[in-house]
């Protein structure tokens, strides 16, 4: 098992990438702390892990709140004795996120607080726990729009994910000699509830699909598999990297016919 003996904390694990990662990490031997603001979703993830024979605990936490991030890390150590993998996955893409002129300040602040500040707070409290366990892996979810401008206006989301990417590089350098690795995953468009709520018509979905060389949306489990590699010792010489899992979207100038 690729994560035997490891403890992983995954934010936003009540659905999507987070849930698929929790299931996969547990299957590979990790004890998993499932963190989400959605209690029903988080508890369902824990139940599915348990049904498959894995170990997991749900912690309800808002990653934009300092005290709740401190508590989720403390719960990981109290329950499972250590923390080895910190997967900062929680994020939002608000339907009212638009261009600079039309995005409300409240939407900007909400997006930054969850997508960017949430990663900072996860690291603020998670890194001391990783130190106590002798090192580990930080995995942050950025986005392909951190590398390319988005044709569909979503300025707050794009800016927040660019910040996650820059923060990850600095974390990697600062903590490299502590046996703490930090890497960012940049997913392409996925068939998740989060994106499908935004792309709520067939026309909107087709506008996005035409830019993806492989011709389909990605699946959450495909990102979970990338996260598994970064969580495992197989990636022991990988830090400060941008792991792009996007169906070729950032490599394409034009898509094939």
DSSP state of 94: -
Whether residue 110 contacts residue 32, with contact meaning beta carbons closer than 8 Å, is answered with: no
**Secondary element (H or E) of residue 7:** strand 7-11
Q: Determine which one of 157, 164, 183, 224 is catalytic.
A: 157
Q: How many CA atoms lie within 13 A of 85 on its CB side?
A: 32
From the number of C-beta atoms within 10 Å of its C-beta (0-12, 13-18, 19+), residue 113 rates as middle
Could you tell me the maximum CA-CA distance found in the chain, to the nearest angstrom? 55
The count of other CB atoms within 10 Å of the CB of residue 122 is 25
* 157 counts as catalytic: yes
The residues assigned a catalytic role are 157
């Amino acid at each position: 098992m690729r994560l035997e003996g490891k403890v992983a904390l995954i934010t936003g694990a009540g659905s999507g990438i987070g849930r698929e990662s929790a299931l996969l990490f547990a299957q590979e031997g990790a004890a998993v702390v499932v963190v989400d603001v959605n209690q029903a979703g988080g508890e369902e993830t824990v139940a599915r892990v348990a049904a498959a024979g894995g170990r997991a605990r749900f912690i309800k936490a808002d990653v934009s709140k300092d005290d709740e991030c401190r508590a989720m890390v403390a719960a990981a150590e109290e329950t499972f004795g250590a923390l080895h993998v910190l997967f900062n996955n929680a994020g939002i893409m608000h339907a009212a996120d638009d261009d600079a002129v039309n995005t409300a300040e409240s939407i900007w602040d909400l997006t930054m607080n969850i997508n960017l500040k949430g990663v900072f707070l996860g690291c603020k409290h998670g890194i001391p726990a990783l130190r106590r366990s002798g090192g580990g892996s930080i995995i942050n979810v950025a986005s392909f729009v951190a590398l390319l401008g988005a044709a569909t206006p979503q300025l707050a989301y794009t800016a927040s994910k660019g910040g996650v990417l820059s923060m990850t590089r600095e974390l990697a350098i600062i903590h490299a000699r502590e046996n703490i690795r930090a890497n960012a995953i940049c997913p392409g468009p996925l068939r998740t509830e989060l994106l499908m709520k935004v792309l709520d018509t067939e026309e909107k979905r087709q506008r996005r699909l035409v830019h993806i060389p492989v011709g389909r949306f990605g699946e959450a489990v495909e990102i979970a598999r990338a996260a598994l590699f970064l969580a495992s010792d197989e990636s022991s010489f990988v830090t400060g990297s941008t792991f792009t899992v996007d169906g070729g979207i950032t490599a394409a100038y034009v898509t094939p016919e």
